[in-house]
């Protein structure tokens, strides 16, 4: 995307500007910050986050799969008669089923995060923005897409200038 990039040195001004842009109806905004800024969660709503559902589903599958694996191995495929104990003694299967469930859930959470965040990515076009390397350290960036229907009408540049920041034109090469 191309448009305007504004660089802030303080969180307060950055959150204020994001709020003002939202007020004037601009929606296509991306923010880059050195740490998660909680106020953005309301200002820049994101589509439904499927990670918790994915992790839960993987955990349930792991639990069921781990349990079935043990039941099949110990009761069907190779039952051992040890002192007449029942081969399908399910309480003994709980610990391993739990461990496999956690393993599956953790793997799903990790892989799901990288997939949803579209990582790893060897080249991020936005990294070409001058001073972008400060966004992981001590600067806050707002990038407004000029394809936003309200971009011209809301006069994004004027809104941004209400706050202490440095505005540059952003055009990916």
Partner 1 sequence: MHAVDRAPVMLPGQDLATIDRAVGDAVLQPRERLGPRWWWWGGFTISVALTAAFILAVEYLFIAGVGIWGIDIPVAWGFAIANYVWWIGIASGGTIISALFYLTQSEWRSAVNRIAESMTLVAAAAAGIMPILHLGRPSFFYWLFPIPNTMGLWPQFKSPLLWDFFAILTYVTASILFWFLGLLPDLAMVRDRATTRRSRLIYGILAMGWTGSHRQWRLHKTAYGLLASLMAPLVVSVHSIVGLDFSGGLLPGWHSTQFSPFFVFGAVLSGFATVLLLVVPLRRLYRLEACITQRHVDLLVTFLLLCSLLLAYSYFVDTLLPFYGDDRFERATALHRFTGAWAWSYWGAWGLNVVIPQILWFRPLRRDWLICFVAFGVVVGMWFERIMLVASSLYEDFLPSAWGHFVPTLWDWLTLFGSAGMAATGFFLFLRYLPVVAAFEIKEILPPDRRHG
Q: Name the packing angle between helices 51-71 and 94-116 (round to 10°).
A: 150
When asked if residue 145 is in the footprint of partner 1 (CB under 8 A), the reply is no
In the complex, the smallest distance separating the C-beta of residue 112 from partner 1, rounded to whole angstroms, is 7
In the complex, the smallest distance separating the C-beta of residue 61 from partner 1, rounded to whole angstroms, is 14
- The SS3 assignment for 145 reads strand
Site string for partner 1, 60-99 (x = CB under 8 A): ---------xx--xx--xx-x--------x--xx-xx-xx
Give yes or no for a cis peptide into 47 (omega within 30° of 0).
Answer: no
Gap between the Cα atoms of 7 and 168, Å rounded: 8
Q: HEC profile for 45-79?
A: CCCCCCHHHHHHHHHHHHHHHHHHHHHHHHHHHCC
The DSSP 8-state label assigned to residue 93 in this structure reads G
Gap between the Cα atoms of 62 and 104, Å rounded: 6
Select from 102, 145, 150, 167 the one that contacts partner 1 (CB under 8 A). 102
In the complex, the smallest distance separating the C-beta of residue 102 from partner 1, rounded to whole angstroms, is 5
When asked if residue 17 is in the footprint of partner 1 (CB under 8 A), the reply is no
Name the residues that contact partner 1, by CB under 8 A.
Answer: 9-12, 30-37, 40-41, 44, 46, 49, 51-52, 55, 59, 69-70, 73-74, 77-78, 80, 89, 92-93, 95-96, 98-100, 102-103, 105-107, 109-110, 112-114, 116-117, 119-124, 126-127, 133-139
């Amino acid at each position: 995307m191309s448009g305007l990039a504004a660089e802030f040195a303080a969180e307060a001004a950055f959150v204020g500007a994001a709020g003002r842009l939202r007020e004037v109806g601009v929606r296509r905004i991306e923010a880059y910050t050195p740490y998660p800024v909680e106020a953005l969660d309301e200002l820049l709503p994101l589509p439904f986050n499927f990670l918790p559902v994915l992790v839960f589903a993987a955990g349930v599958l792991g639990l069921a799969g781990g349990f079935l694996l043990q039941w099949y191995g110990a009761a069907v495929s190779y039952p051992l008669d040890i002192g007449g104990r029942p081969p399908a003694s399910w309480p003994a299967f709980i610990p391993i089923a739990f461990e496999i469930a956690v393993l599956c859930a953790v793997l799903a959470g990790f892989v799901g995060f990288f997939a949803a965040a579209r990582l790893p990515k060897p080249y991020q076009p936005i990294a070409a923005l001058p001073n972008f390397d400060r966004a992981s350290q001590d600067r806050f960036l707002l990038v407004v897409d000029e394809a936003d229907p309200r971009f011209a009408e809301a006069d994004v540049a004027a809104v941004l200038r209400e706050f202490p920041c440095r505005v540059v034109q952003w055009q990916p090469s």
